Amino acid sequence: APPSPHTLSSTPPASQNAPSSSPSSNQLYDFSLLRMCSEQGQDSGVQQIIQQVHNRTSHKSFIIQHDILYKLARRGNTNIKLLYAPSTVIPELLAAYHDHHLSGHFDAERTWLALKNTYFWPHMKELVASYI
């Protein structure tokens, strides 16, 4: 099974903070709520939805908890919260869930299935397919 977000979550050492052209398959990723909150705060698309939620002009399928935007989704008979992934984090999520040595290099469908119960972003399935 693909690793959980907590398996891959860590604070990278200072040497890994430098930007690279592509994430390494052995890289540790920081998907902490603190980082997600910070990245959401800098993402104009996320900020637009947050503003709509505050103004009560958006769909009821979004909520904000502890300053973090979530998408509400239904899985079977259960309602779940999906962390709205800021655009800056999406490449890291794709790399972590597909390229990382613990992820198993699954095909697009299995990679999407691993992501879809934790994260949300617009056109997620299509982006996963194009990445793989």
CATH, residue 102: 1.10.340.70
Q: Tell me, yes or no, whether 110 lies in a domain.
A: yes
- Token pair 């693909």 is found at 2
Query: d(Cα 12, Cα 122) in Å, to the nearest integer?
Result: 27
pLDDT at 20: 40
Structural domain count of the chain = 1
pLDDT at 113: 87
Q: Tell me, yes or no, whether 12 lies in a domain.
A: no
Q: Tell me, yes or no, whether 91 lies in a domain.
A: yes
The answer to whether residue 125 scores a pLDDT higher than 60 is yes
Q: Tell me, yes or no, whether 114 lies in a domain.
A: yes
Q: Tell me, yes or no, whether 80 lies in a domain.
A: yes
Reported as a pLDDT band with limits 50, 70 and 90, residue 74 is: very high
Q: Please say whether the beta carbons of 122 and 69 come within 8 A.
A: no
Query: d(Cα 55, Cα 62) in Å, to the nearest integer?
Result: 12
Q: Tell me, yes or no, whether 77 lies in a domain.
A: yes
pLDDT at 26: 55
- Token pair 């709205």 is found at 84
Polymer length of the chain: 132
Domain enclosing residue 66, as ranges: 29-131
pLDDT at 2: 47
Q: Tell me, yes or no, whether 101 lies in a domain.
A: yes
Q: Kindly report which listed range (18-27, 28-37, 74-83, 87-96) carries the lowest average pLDDT score.
A: 18-27
Q: Tell me, yes or no, whether 41 lies in a domain.
A: yes
Q: Please say whether the beta carbons of 121 and 87 come within 8 A.
A: yes
Q: Please say whether the beta carbons of 39 and 89 come within 8 A.
A: yes
The answer to whether residue 66 scores a pLDDT higher than 50 is yes
More confident residue, 59 or 57: 57
